[in-house]
Every structure is written in C-alpha cells, then in structure tokens.
C-alpha cells in the first residue's frame, strides 16, 4: 500500500504524526542558539609571548621566528602570521574549517615545549579566541565629578569585584579593563641624602623586600598541644613602611621616610576612557571562540543588577552590546518570513477564492518550518540571518508542491471522480513531477562540499535549512494534502467515530470484562478518537466562519484579481499560439533578452559581503609617535565636541591609549592611539556624521583618522596590499611610496601601513673598554639607569588580600629631562662621581613600531577602506598604480584582505554553480528518461540568471557571495515550473493527443499553478528584498536575485519552453491502449 493510500485511509495517524513533529520542533526551536551569521572566522589560536624591554627586532628574531618554525608544522594549519612589537609577540595560527581545536591546542603546546626561548621571556600564552575581534559587551563604570582618588577606588573595585564575577560566567573568555588609575606606592629617593649616607637604590630596595615578609618559624609542642610559630612583619600601613631602618651607625638610625618621599600614588597612565566628557572605567568582555554571542551577552546583562548593588554610588551601564544588533537583525528576518507567509497565503486565496483549500495548502508552511527547527537542532545550526533567510526563501517554495497536488485533485474532481479517488489519483499523477522538482531544488546543494571559506560557511546553514523545509513540504504534499482534500465539510467526520455493534453480554464475567475494558480504554478513546474528531470539527467550523468573513472583505479584491487573471489567461493563450507558430522568432527574442541582460555584468561591481550598518562606528586616531596619552585624549574630546549637539547622535565614548586592549593589530597600540566610539540615534545618519568628523580631523595637525565598524567577524580591511621583503628600511620606504601614490585617488580612504615609526627611544651604547678601566660593567650600570628612571618594584603592600606594588625610583626632578640622563651619576657612592656621558653614547632613535610576518616572511601591509565603488574596481585601480611604481627587485607585492577571500570564494561558487546545473540535469534526465527534455528545461537557467542580473542592475546591488548563493539556489528553483509543464505535456501525449495540441492543453492547464507558485515564491521573499531593518544589507541581495530571476524565467518559460518542445522533441510515445494495459498489469 502506497503512502498516499495510507494517508487518505488513516487520517488520525497522519494527525498524530504531525502533532509529534510539531511538539519536538518547538522543543528544538527553544534550544537553538541565536547568531548574526554562521561562524565566518577561521578557527584561530594566538600564541602571545611577553619579552619585557625587548625591541621589535629582538622580539622577532628571538621569539616570533622560533615559535613560527615550531608551530608551522601543526596539522590542519591554513595560515601562519606574526606581529612583533616592543615587549610582545603574537603568532596567529589560522586553521582549516572543521579542525579539532582541542587537539590543535595540545599539538601547539607540544611544539612550544620543544623550543628554547631567552630566560627572561615569559611562558607563551595560548588564546583560544581572536584578540582582534571587538568585545561582545562593553560596560562603563563612572562616578560624577570623579577625582584621582575616586578613579583609583573605582579601578580597584572593577578589578577586585566586577572583573572576577564577570569572568566566572560561562562563555566569557576574558574581561579587560581600561581607564581609571591603578594604585601604586611610590618611594621617591632623594639622591643627595643617599649620597651623604653612602646608600643607593639597590640597598633601599633590598631593605624594603627584607622587612616586608611573613615567615613560618616551625612549631612548638607543649604538653599535648602543638603551636605554629610565625613572624608577622608585612607592612599594614604606609607609616610602617616609612619606619623601616635603612641606615645605622654607632649613634644614628636613619629611617626610610627621612631619605625618601612615600606617596600613595598610581601607575603611569597609558589610557584614558570617557563617556562624553566624564572619565570612566571600561570593562571589555570577550567571549570564548565557540561561545554564543547572544547567550553570553544575556548572562552578562542578567548579572548587572547584582553588580550594581555592590557599589550604589557608582553608575554601571552597558555602552555597547553586540547582541542587540544580532537579535534585531534575526528578528527582522523572522518578521520578513512571517509577512512573506501571509502574502503567499493571500495569493493562494485570490486564486482559489475559497478559504478551505487555502488553509489546506497553507498548512504546509507552519508544519514544514517547525519540522525544520527540529532538524536544525540535531544538525547544530543556529538561528542566524542565513538560516532564517533559507526558511524565508523556502516559505514561497513550501506551498508549490501542495498547490500542484491540490490543483490536480481539483481537476480530477471536475472529471467526475469522488473525493477519495480524486485525492489518491490526483496526487499519484503529479507525485513523480513534484518529487523530481523537489530533487532538482535539493540537487543544487550537493556541490556544497566543494565550496569552502566564507562562501561555504554562509551557504552551509542556508542550504541545510532549505533542504529540511522542502523535504518536510514534500512529505506534507504526499500525505496531509490528499488526506485533507478527501474530506469536505462535516461529511467525512463520522468515520472517525465509527459505531460498533453492541457485544452480547450473556455471562457475568463477560459483563465485568466489557465494562472494565470500557473504563480502562476511555482515556485512549478520548485522546485518539474523540479529541481529533473534536479538533477537526472545531477547525472546520472556524475555517467556515473565517471564510465567510474573508469573503466579505476580500470579495472586491478577489473580483479585481479574477478579472486580471482572466485577461492574463486570454493574452497568454493568444501569445502561446503565436509563439508556437513562429518558434524560431520566439527563440531569437528570448536569446536577445538573455544576452542583453548578461551584458550588464561588468557594470555591477563586486564585493565579498555587503557591509552592514550597525548603527554605530568608531573613529580611530593616530598621532605622531611619542605623543603623550593626555594629548591623545584632548584630540578625541575635540572630535567628540564636534558632534555633541547633533540629534542623530545618541552618545559617544572615547579611549585614549591602547591600555587594556587585547588586540594584536599594529595600528592599535601606544599612547598616541585613540578611539572615539559613536552610537547613532538614526542609522541613516552615518554619512552625515562621518563627514563632520573627517572635516574636524583634517584641521588637526599630524592626525591620522580612520573610520571603522565594530568587527562582528574577523573580516580584514577591504583592500590590503602585502609588500614582501627583508630589509625593514626598504620595506618602509616602499610602503610609504605606495600610500602616497594611492592617496592621489579619491577612491581610497583611511590609508594605513603596518610598518611605521615606533616610540622615540634614547639608545645608550656603552664603551666597554672605558667601563672596564673604571672597574665597572655594563649590566650593573644598565640596572642603575633602569632603577633611577623607570624604577624597580621592591615588594608589594597588602591591603585586604590585594597586592599593591611598591615602586622605588628617583624623584621626578632628577629624570624629567633628556639632559638628566647624560649627567646621571653611575657610581653614586664613589669619591669621584662619573656621569653616564663619560662611558656611553646617548642618542635619539626611531625604530619600527612592529614587524609583521606572513608565511614566515617579513611584510608591510598597506590597507585602505573604499570611499566609493566596489572592491573589484578598487583592486584593478590599485594594480595599475603599483605597476607604475619602480619597485626594487627584492620587493614583491601581492593582494590580500577581503579581495583574497573574494577571489577564492567566487572561484569555488562558480564551480558549484556549474555542478549544480549538471546535477539538476541528471535528476531530470532520470525522471523523464530522456536526454532532450532536460536540456529544453535547462534553458530556463540562463534566462533566470539574466533576470537576476537585470534586477541587481536596477537596484544598484553589487555581485557578492550572497548573490552567488542566490544564483545557485535559483538554478534548482527555476526549473520546477518547466518540469511541471513538460511532465504534463508528456502525460497528454501518452494519452494519444497530438504534440501541438498536447502543448497547448498542458500550457492552459498548468498556467494557474505555475503563476501561483511563482507569485508565492516572489511575494514570500518580497519583505526581504525591500532591504528594511538591521542586517538587510546581507539578506536583500539574495532575495532580489531570486525574485527577478524567477519572475523573468517564468514569463519566458511559459512561452519559450513550449516553442522549444515543439521544435526539438522527437520522442515517440506508446499508444494509449498499450499504456493502459501496462498500467493494469502493474
């Protein structure tokens, strides 16, 4: 017995199956993660190593290079790069998709254990997330009119309370603080007094460290008790610290406070953060690499109320929450899918003019979508723009099979069959066609295995959701639709509650058995018999009531639509006769239209993924190396002041100095770097606000400003040019020349190079022979210089389990001028003082801020944003500019950034598109047992592509990965109408009807379902194509591609496919008698 027969004869079983699927689907939906897009960042591990005091060149040679050589042979590694900065090395390992990152981390750790690094290098730290991505949540802790003491207290509170509690939340990888003041005890030595007492900084530091200690002295046993002995000498206050004896002779005791100033101070500032004009503490919260952004952000915001109660005087608020944009974008897609569903149902109603068949067809939408949620859960697919976009795309397709089935059942009813026979026969007649059309749509997803990179990540979720939804809709079309169509009104209800003959109860035991069974079985009878009957009756009653109300409202619209459709039908019939009469002319017109639209491709432009307007952006500023953080803060405040009174700006907050940033980006570092984050009240005001900021920035001398968006995924700058060489001076000169040449074009904005001058440094080169003659050595003198200028942490002062550094160094007056360095006494306790200038050469130098390496080669990366135009045109112009440069033979240039990923993705997608069309042909050839008919149907594909290109052109939409995904899906969708048409022609010819008559009859009978399916698909995607709401930049191009491609292809299919069939079909069909005989024997 076939599934169609079973469904018609066992409606209760069908209902129970549907209820089970809906139940499990809702449970699966509640557990789906919410994301903006699928994971587009390659899995990464960052090896961060600190080498304090080392210059970038030393870090590169002694740390980065050995780590690269060791980690470069790890399995699954796709790309290795490194950034060597002053005191720090970051080696970034990018792995292929699907790599087991737990095993990769273990293997990397094993490789690191085999290398030898300098002794003063700290142990390498493995970061399981990309430090260049922005934090998912930023919190700001502020206090009105905060002074230095308040800023220290707030920073301490943030470190000791807020940071610890936030990092304990699951999914939070790290919390980094910036702004405020970090408490530190300063011991400022008076060198004149120390010299008089023959003391130096080393002795002071040793005395502080020796005094500030608690020791265990063992234990004492007295009787039956045991006592621990401890010496308690740690400082409990700054007064105790000042009382320690640093010098003694027979008559004199000198205490620390007599030779030094003891100050409860703070560490030197390297960052300043503000909300508006008020200083604050920023807490940047980073998520773990595989954690869900929305889930982690919700945990953080849920924790806020408890955190606020810890310090009610200070204000703790969220200033950036990445999850808000994600949830808004996902909500917009959901709304678009719901509106599309309603529009599809409206189209069906306008065609059928009856609410019952409309509801019968429309039931496939919610059932298929809910069933899809269930399968998404098991396939570990999140709710994101692409997966929900796949559902929105499928909404229009879900009813296609149901329309074809119900339309054919209605045709059989009109031929005089009863309801049951019409349901079974009508479904069986088109079962093969709808199965083939569904398989052709799904076949385009098979080449997914050949698509990798960003395109593969984007395509995967959408492909699977469409596949799940269409398989569910096919099941509905073959089971639920014929079951419901075989019932009409209340006439079909009695069979659900069939009356049975009363059993003969001739014995007492029989009576007990009968009534006992009746009582025990009552819950099951109620659940599986009466309840479904009641539900079906209720549904039918409500549908009839709704149908009556809808008829009153929709009657005028329905009448107008019916008149328009009859006009369309009349015009089409006349047009079809002329097309069949002049087949070659029809072909020529279709070919001309297709080729004409294809010629628009060069005018479209190309990009990797459309940029998304998130309603906020930031301005990164860079001042000359050596600029103090307070000057950077002043510049940022000037920029913030220029947009302070604008109504389209919600608020702005700034950070001067890199401070607590975790990024390894060379352009974000030092006190001369800063960022102004701007949150817009009106998302459309981006261009206007950025114009004001750029104009203000241009009036500030020596300022470089760059507009950037929060990084939701690790996409690089649109244009990146990698200049490869070894000599750093030559690399820098080439990169600077290239920036100068590119700046002459107004297409490129925010030009930047990774190889720039670093912090100005005073280089001290010792005369070792002179030092030896004086009985001194370089390490000793170097340590004395470091202690006097930078100071040395002698010990730590404990307050409530919190450790505060005690820094010993010279007074500020002895180290605030370059001349003080030259005249510094290097033998303070000697009878003949010797200045540093006598044994060393002190010079002012500029070294590189950082050294980049990619694939174990030194590179200078020149990056730029695009002021206008598309990425492909920008790359072509940049290539032309580079060709005009006289580059040295030792310098090579290659393009990276988004262009590299775009070329790779487009190449993969082109192969996937060709394979998709080929697989569609294979499925159709198997269905029709013909090599010619599938070729005729495939003519719809280039016509659809032409329609898509025309739609992209008139909407000014660039070619992107999203558009290519739409084209691949279109290849499977657009042939469905042609399959239904050709299948019906073949059925009529098998019945003995002549070819041209069969073509005309099939075209007339299939016009309505073809127009219905096209309109439901197009209108189902219309809300997405309008480009409204957050994230619309990504979802609109695919909708435009499908709508325009399907619409033009349908118009041409209804005319061109019949003409092609008439011209090229040569297949002979069996006589009707023979066909009937074979059918009976089967």
Q: What is the pLDDT of residues 395-438, one digit of tens each?
A: 777 777 887 788 788 888 888 888 888 888 888 888 887 887 78
- pLDDT at 659 > cutoff 70: no
Stronger pLDDT, 164 or 455, i.e. the higher one: 164
Q: What is the pLDDT of residues 239-293, one digit of tens each?
A: 888 888 888 887 788 888 888 888 888 887 888 888 878 888 889 898 876 677 8
Q: What is the pLDDT of residues 521-531, one digit of tens each?
A: 656 666 556 66
User: Pairing mode, if any, of strands 616-622 and 673-680?
Assistant: antiparallel
pLDDT at 847: 67
Weakest-pLDDT range from 177-186, 483-492, 918-927: 483-492
CA distance 967 to 961: 10
What are residue 401's phi and psi, to 5 degrees?
-65, -40
- pLDDT at 516 > cutoff 80: no
- pLDDT at 1073 > cutoff 60: no
Angle (CA) 1078-982-1075 rounded to 5° is: 10
- pLDDT at 960 > cutoff 50: yes
- How is residue 644 annotated by DSSP? T
pLDDT at 496: 38
pLDDT at 65: 92
pLDDT at 66: 92
Weakest-pLDDT range from 220-224, 532-536, 615-619, 889-893: 532-536
CA distance 829 to 95: 58
Q: What is the pLDDT of residues 202-217, one digit of tens each?
A: 788 888 888 888 788 7
Helix (H, G, I), strand (E, B) or coil at 267: coil
Q: Which domains does the chain have, with CATH numbers?
A: 14-36+326-495+578-604+903-1081 (1.20.1640.10), 44-127 (3.30.70.1430), 183-266+760-848 (3.30.2090.10)
Determine how many CB atoms are found less than 10 A away from the CB of residue 126. 13
Band of the pLDDT at 1069, cuts 50, 70, 90? low
Stronger pLDDT, 516 or 87, i.e. the higher one: 87
Stronger pLDDT, 658 or 727, i.e. the higher one: 727
Closest CA relative to residue 170, chosen from 291, 39, 307, 32? 291
Please state the rounded mean pLDDT for residues 534-549.
70
What is the residue-averaged pLDDT of the chain? 80
Please state the rounded mean pLDDT for residues 185-195.
82
Helix (H, G, I), strand (E, B) or coil at 205: helix
- Report for 723-727, 918-922, 1067-1071: range of highest mean pLDDT: 723-727
pLDDT at 493: 36
Q: Residue 221: which residues within 8 A CB-CB, separation 6 or more?
A: 227
Closest CA relative to residue 441, chosen from 479, 477, 404, 471? 471
Please state the rounded mean pLDDT for residues 860-869.
82
pLDDT at 144: 81
Please state the rounded mean pLDDT for residues 908-928.
82
- pLDDT at 1078 > cutoff 50: no
- How is residue 501 annotated by DSSP? P
Complete DSSP assignment for 18-33: HHHHHHHHHHHHHT--
Q: What is the pLDDT of residues 325-336, one digit of tens each?
A: 888 888 888 888
Weakest-pLDDT range from 142-146, 271-275, 501-505, 771-775: 501-505
- Whether 139 and 318 have beta carbons less than 8 Å apart is answered as yes
Q: What is the pLDDT of residues 1001-1013, one digit of tens each?
A: 888 888 888 888 8
- pLDDT at 458 > cutoff 60: yes
- pLDDT at 92 > cutoff 80: yes
Q: How far out from the chain centre does Cα 767 lie?
A: 57
- Whether 330 and 34 have beta carbons less than 8 Å apart is answered as yes
- pLDDT at 989 > cutoff 50: yes
- pLDDT at 533 > cutoff 80: no
Share of the chain above pLDDT 90, in %: 2
pLDDT at 1068: 60
Q: Is 947 exposed, middle or buried (0-12, 13-18, 19+ CB in 10 A)?
A: buried
Closest CA relative to residue 108, chosen from 72, 160, 143? 72
- pLDDT at 551 > cutoff 80: no
User: Pairing mode, if any, of strands 183-189 and 802-810?
Assistant: parallel
Please state the rounded mean pLDDT for residues 1052-1075.
71
CA distance 675 to 339: 41
Please state the rounded mean pLDDT for residues 918-933.
82
Q: How far is CA 1002 from CA 101, 425, 692, 984, 1005, in A?
A: 57, 18, 63, 6, 5
Weakest-pLDDT range from 93-97, 279-283, 814-818: 814-818
- pLDDT at 512 > cutoff 70: no
Band of the pLDDT at 494, cuts 50, 70, 90? very low
Share of the chain above pLDDT 70, in %: 88
Weakest-pLDDT range from 281-285, 533-537, 872-876: 533-537
- The full 3-state SS of 433-491, as one line of letters, equals HHHHHHHHHHHCCHHHHHCCHHHHHHHHHHHHHHHHHHHHHHHHHHCHHHHHHCCCCCC
Please state the rounded mean pLDDT for residues 626-637.
88
Helix (H, G, I), strand (E, B) or coil at 10: coil
- pLDDT at 382 > cutoff 70: yes
Angle (CA) 398-399-404 rounded to 5° is: 125
Q: What is the pLDDT of residues 708-736, one digit of tens each?
A: 776 655 456 778 888 998 888 888 889 88
- Whether 437 and 912 have beta carbons less than 8 Å apart is answered as no
Residue environment code for 659-687, b if the CB has 16+ CB neighbours within 10 A, otherwise e: bbbbbbbbbbbbbbbbbbbbbbeeeebbe
């Amino acid at each position: 017995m076939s599934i169609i027969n079973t469904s018609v004869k066992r409606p209760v079983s069908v209902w129970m199956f549907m209820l089970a699927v809906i139940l499990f689907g809702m449970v699966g939906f509640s557990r789906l993660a919410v994301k903006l897009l699928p994971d587009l960042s390659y899995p990464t591990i960052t090896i961060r190593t600190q080498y304090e005091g080392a210059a970038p060149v030393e870090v590169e040679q002694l740390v980065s290079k050995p780590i690269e050589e060791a980690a470069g042979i790890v399995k699954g590694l796709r790309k290795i790069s490194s950034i060597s900065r002053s005191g720090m090395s970051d080696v970034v390992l990018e792995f292929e998709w699907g790599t087991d990152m737990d095993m990769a981390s273990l293997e990397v750790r094993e490789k690191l254990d085999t290398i030898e690094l300098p002794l003063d290098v700290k142990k390498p730290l493995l970061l399981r997330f990309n430090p260049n991505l922005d934090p998912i949540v930023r919190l700001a802790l502020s206090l009105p009119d905060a002074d230095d003491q308040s800023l220290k207290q707030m920073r301490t509170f943030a470190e000791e309370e807020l940071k610890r509690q936030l990092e304990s939340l699951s999914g939070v990888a790290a919390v980094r603080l910036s702004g405020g003041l970090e408490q530190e005890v300063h011991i400022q030595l008076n060198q004149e007094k120390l010299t008089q007492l023959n003391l130096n900084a080393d002795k002071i530091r040793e005395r502080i460290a020796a005094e500030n200690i608690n020791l265990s002295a063992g234990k004492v046993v007295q009787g039956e008790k045991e006592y621990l002995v401890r010496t308690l000498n740690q400082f409990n206050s700054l007064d105790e610290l000042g009382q320690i004896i640093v010098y003694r002779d027979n008559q004199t005791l000198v205490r620390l406070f007599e030779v030094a100033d003891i100050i409860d101070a703070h560490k030197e500032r390297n960052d300043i953060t503000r909300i508006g004009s008020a200083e604050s503490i920023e807490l940047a919260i980073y998520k773990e690499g595989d954690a869900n952004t929305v889930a982690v952000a919700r945990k953080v915001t849920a924790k806020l109320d408890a955190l606020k109660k810890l310090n009610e005087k200070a204000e703790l608020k969220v200033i950036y929450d990445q999850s808000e944009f994600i949830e808004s974008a996902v909500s917009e897609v959901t709304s678009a899918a719901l509106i599309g569903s309603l529009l599809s149902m409206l189209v069906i109603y306008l065609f059928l003019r009856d609410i019952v068949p409309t509801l019968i067809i429309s039931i496939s939408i919610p059932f298929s979508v809910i069933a899809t949620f269930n399968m998404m859960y098991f396939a570990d697919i999140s709710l994101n723009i692409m997966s929900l976009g796949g559902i929105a795309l499928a909404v229009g397709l879900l009813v296609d099979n149901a329309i074809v089935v119900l339309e054919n059942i209605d045709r059989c009813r009109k031929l005089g069959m009863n309801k049951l026979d019409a349901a079974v026969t009508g479904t069986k007649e088109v079962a093969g066609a709808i199965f083939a059309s569904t398989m052709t749509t799904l076949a385009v997803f098979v080449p997914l295995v050949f698509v990798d990179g960003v395109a593969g990540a984007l395509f995967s979720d959408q492909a699977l959701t469409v596949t799940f939804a269409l398989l569910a809709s096919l099941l509905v079309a073959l089971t639920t639709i014929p079951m419901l169509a075989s019932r009409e009104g209340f006439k079909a209800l009695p069979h659900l509650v069939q009356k049975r003959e009363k059993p003969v109860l001739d014995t007492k035991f029989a009576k007990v058995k009968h009534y006992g069974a009746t009582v025990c079985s009552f819950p099951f009878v109620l659940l599986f018999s009466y309840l479904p009957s009641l539900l079906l009756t209720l549904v039918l009653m409500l549908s009839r009531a709704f149908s009556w109300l809808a008829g009153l409202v929709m009657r005028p619209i329905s009448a107008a639509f019916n008149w328009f459709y009859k006009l369309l039908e009349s015009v089409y019939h006349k047009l079809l006769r002329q097309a069949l009469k002049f087949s070659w002319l029809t072909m020529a017109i279709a070919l001309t239209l297709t080729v004409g639209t294809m010629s628009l491709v060069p005018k479209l432009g190309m990009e990797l993924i459309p940029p998304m307007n998130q309603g906020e952006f930031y301005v990164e500023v860079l001042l000359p190396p050596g600029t103090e953080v307070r000057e950077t803060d002043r510049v940022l405040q000037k920029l913030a002041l220029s947009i302070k009174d604008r109504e389209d700006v919600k608020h702005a907050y700034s950070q001067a100095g890199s401070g607590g940033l975790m990024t390894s980006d060379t352009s974000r570092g030092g006190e001369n770097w800063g960022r102004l984050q701007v949150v817009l009240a009106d998302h459309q005001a981006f261009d206007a606000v950025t114009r004001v900021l750029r104009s203000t920035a241009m009036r500030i001398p020596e300022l470089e400003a760059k507009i950037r968006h929060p990084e939701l995924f690790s996409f690089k700058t649109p244009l990146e040019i990698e200049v490869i060489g070894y000599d750093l001076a030559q690399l820098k000169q080439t990169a600077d020349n290239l920036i100068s040449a590119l700046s002459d074009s107004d297409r490129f904005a925010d030009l930047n190079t990774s190889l720039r001058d670093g912090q100005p440094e005073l280089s001290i080169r010792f005369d070792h022979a002179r030092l030896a003659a004086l009985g001194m050595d370089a390490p000793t003198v170097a340590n004395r210089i470091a202690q006097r200028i930078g100071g040395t942490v002698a010990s730590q002062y404990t307050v409530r389990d919190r450790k505060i550094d005690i820094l010993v160094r010279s007074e500020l007056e002895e180290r605030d001028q370059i001349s003080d360095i030259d005249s510094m006494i290097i033998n303070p306790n000697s009878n003949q003082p010797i200045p540093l200038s006598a044994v060393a050469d002190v010079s002012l130098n500029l070294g590189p801020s950082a050294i980049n390496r990619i694939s174990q080669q030194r590179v200078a990366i020149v990056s730029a944003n695009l002021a206008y135009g598309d990425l492909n045109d920008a790359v072509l112009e940049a290539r032309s500019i580079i060709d005009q440069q006289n580059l040295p033979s030792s310098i090579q240039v290659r393009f990276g950034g988004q262009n590299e990923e775009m070329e790779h993705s487009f190449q993969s997608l082109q192969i996937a598109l060709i394979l998709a069309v080929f697989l569609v042909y294979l499925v159709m050839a198997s269905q029709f047992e013909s090599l010619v008919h599938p070729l005729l149907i495939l003519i719809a594909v280039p016509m659809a592509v032409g329609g898509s290109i025309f739609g992209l052109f008139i909407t000014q939409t660039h070619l992107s990965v999203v558009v290519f995904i739409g084209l691949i899906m279109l290849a499977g969708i657009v042939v469905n109408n042609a399959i239904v048409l050709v299948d019906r022609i073949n059925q009529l010819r098998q019945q003995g009807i002549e070819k041209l008559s069969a073509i005309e009859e099939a075209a007339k009978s299939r016009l309505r379902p073809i127009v219905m399916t096209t309109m439901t698909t197009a209108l189902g995607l219309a809300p997405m194509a309008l480009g409204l709401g957050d994230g619309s930049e990504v979802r609109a191009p695919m909708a435009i591609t499908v709508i325009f491609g399907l619409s033009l292809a349908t118009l041409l299919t209804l005319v061109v496919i019949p003409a092609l069939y008439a011209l090229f079909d040569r297949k002979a069909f069996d006589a009707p008698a023979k066909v009937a005989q074979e059918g009976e024997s089967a």
